[in-house]
Amino acid sequence: MREIVLDTETTGLNPLTGDRLVEIGCVEIYNRIPTGQVYHVYLNPQRDMPVEAFNVHGLSAEFLSDKPLFAQVVEEFLAFIEDSPLVIHNAAFDIGFINAELAKIGRPPITFDRVIDTLSLARRRHPGASNRLDDLMSRYGIDGSRRTKHGALLDSELLADVYAELCGGRQTALGLTVAEVRVETTEIVSGLPRERPRPLPARLDAVQIATHAAFVATLGDGAIWKEYAADTEAGPAA
């Protein structure tokens, strides 16, 4: 199944008070495995950059001043995500900003029925624990050494790894290591009896054998016990 892992960076926390998108990053995954296809764009917010936001992502107003407006890239953005499910950490934040930008240019919003919120998944799987992206990366042993600042594309790549772990890990059949195959052999034993190298020791002593013979002698001539005793004394046929 095709899914799109998505992240954004913004000028602040609330699009209703004038904050804007400044970066979108998307990673395409099939069956939770990245395909190598990505979408990434910086956006001109047409406003200043608060120092609090700059400290998070390091994108200055000067750097963004020559970048395209959201209206100029909306078609390629929507073409990339198509109608695929969107995997987002704390989805209400990112979708809120994207829908605010779509509303500014008269485009319909992205509906939440196509959104998979990994924060909600993490809270169900790890109740009571901190489930920030950094915490989940540490919990699952995902290398975050490149993440010195927040970045939409890098965070999407890292979230793709976290999402796979939240869903139980990637299928081992898609791994790059070859599993060791253990071959066991089974000895096939013939149904024919094999000759013992040494006969089993007798379970009866001489007194018990003599007592049994005396008992058999008291039986009638046609008794089956006499026939069995005679066969036993004669031994196996040559």
Among 58, 25, 29, CA closest to 39? 25
214 pLDDT band, cuts 50/70/90, is confident
Residue 186 lies in a domain: no
Are the CB atoms for 43 and 70 separated by under 8 Å?
yes
Q: Can you tell me the distance from the alpha carbon of 218 to that of 229, in angstroms, rounded to the nearest whole number?
A: 13
Residue 51 and residue 131 in one domain: yes
Q: What angle do the packed helices 70-81 and 91-104 form, to 10 degrees?
A: 130
Question: What are the Cα distances from residue 206, in Å, to 132, 134, 199, 226, 234?
Answer: 87, 86, 18, 19, 18
Residue 86 and residue 157 in one domain: yes
Among 59, 34, 57, 56, CA closest to 48? 59
Residue 147 and residue 218 in one domain: no
Residue 44 and residue 145 in one domain: yes
Cβ count within 10 A of residue 130: 11
Question: Can you give the residue range of the structural domain that contains 62?
Answer: 2-173
Residue 165 and residue 213 in one domain: no
Tens digit of each residue's pLDDT (9 = 90 or more) over 165-188: 999 976 533 444 333 333 333 333
Residue 77 and residue 153 in one domain: yes
Residue 230 and residue 168 in one domain: no
Active site residue 150: yes
Residue 10 and residue 124 in one domain: yes
Number of domains in the chain: 2
Residue 119 and residue 210 in one domain: no
Residue 122 and residue 225 in one domain: no
Identified catalytic residue from 40, 57, 89, 150:
150
Residue 184 lies in a domain: no
Residue 91 and residue 157 in one domain: yes
pLDDT of the residue at 202: 61
Residue 13 lies in a domain: yes
Residue 134 and residue 223 in one domain: no
Q: Can you tell me the distance from the alpha carbon of 180 to that of 68, in angstroms, rounded to the nearest whole number?
A: 52
Residue 94 lies in a domain: yes
Q: Is 78 helix (H, G, I), strand (E, B) or coil?
A: helix
Residue carrying the six token digits 């799987």: 125
Tens digit of each residue's pLDDT (9 = 90 or more) over 133-177: 999 999 999 998 888 889 999 999 999 999 999 999 765 334 443
